[in-house]
Chain A
Amino acid sequence: MSAPNADAAAQRIYLPNIKHNSALLTVKFLSACLAGATAGILGLQNWLGFALFIASTLVTSACIYVINCKGRPAKYVPGGLWELVNPGQDNIFSFILTWTLFFGIVHVYD
């Protein structure tokens, strides 16, 4: 039963449920950090590292899409598919931080 217009759709959003679903943010952050660690340990440089980040974002989003959202992201995440896939500024910088850290530990230092 879809809402007739955008106003009614916005009225249907229940805030405590949205807060509960924001646990997905933790999943995205952890996957960004671990992707950074992976890229660093593997010694990926330049665009290869960013390619790994994009690949990990897509895989994480696909998992969340299938397992959590059961194929209907608009039902669980306000903002739909784009908000699900978008890693956000925080996660990009966290990826770069862990990537630099592990790259330095493994490949730069003896």
Chain B
Amino acid sequence: MLSNLNVVSLYLDPQIRDWVLFPITLVMILVGILRHYVVILLQSPPKKLSRAAIREQRALVHSQVLRATSTNSPVPESFYKSISQNLSQAFTAGTYLKDGPPQGDAPSTPPNPLSDPNAMDGMMAGMKTQMVMMVPQMVIMGWINFFFQGFVLIKLPFPLTLGFKSMLQRGIETPDMDVRWVSSLSWYFLNFFGLNGLYRLILGGDNAADAARDMATPFAAGVPQAPGQAQDYNKLLIAEKDNLELAEGLYSWVGKDVEQRVLRRYGKFPPSS
């Protein structure tokens, strides 16, 4: 007879459904969309670099792209060798540097990241995005805790351990009630995790309304980008020249001996061992 007590379910007023369940979901969806557009509006246009500065960045990228596929390169040998040696000489001589070839007397020091205005803008943009992410979450949690506290909202269809009771049944002081009857804060958490897919559907893949935990790691990755602009390109290009020469040693053309491979495939040539 005691087991029957567990089967008896609570009777919940349908007004709770109308005035709490749907509004919380609706508000979270709308705030997510709002966050996405606020982040877009807050993004300042990227700083225009001078032609010389762009040229030195592009030279680095050019050499990286070239040596990325050097072991299976689609570029025939004469072209590869000539581009590679041209870049090596240019990097040694410093022709692509923003301020021209190094004078040789004063050691070039990388500009201080805190004083370089370009780097500051990068960091500020990252921090602005962080604030836009976090503030609405805090506000909604406070709103829910203030208005929708102290009553049971919904029953979870799956069981949870007792450890979750304190978090999901906050405000309801019943030690015996099943953990599956939860308060509104847990509905907030369910929405927080579950709406990401909906945002991806509405706002497209790269939206800014994703869960805040995804923003934690790009913040760490965004900060090194700022010192990247302040780095000493001379040292970078010299290091790149070494990599380039290494890649040139490993170079092999995709189309090497292609005539023999074609003939072998069509049987005009004795097969290789």
A residues contacting B by CB (< 8 A) are 5, 7-8, 11, 22, 25-26, 29, 32-33, 39-40, 44-46, 49-50, 90-91, 93-94, 96-101, 103-105, 107-110
Contact = CB atoms under 8 A, between A and B. Distances in A.
State the main secondary structure of chain B at its contact with A: helix
A45 B71 CA distance: 56
A72 to B, nearest CB: 22
Contacts of A98: 194
Interface string B55-77: 00000000000000101100000
B9 interface: yes
Given A49-B158, A93-B193, A110-B14, A101 B69 contact: no
A109 B158 CA distance: 17
A90 B197 contact: yes
A104 B155 contact: yes
B159 interface: yes
A86 B11 CA distance: 38
Contacts of A110: 11-12, 14
Interface residues of B, number: 31
Contacts of A44: 157
Contacts of B17: 104-105, 109
B197 A108 contact: no
Nearest to A98: B194
Which 10 A/B pairs are nearest by Cβ-Cβ distance? A97-B194, A93-B193, A104-B154, A94-B197, A90-B197, A93-B194, A103-B157, A29-B197, A8-B72, A109-B17
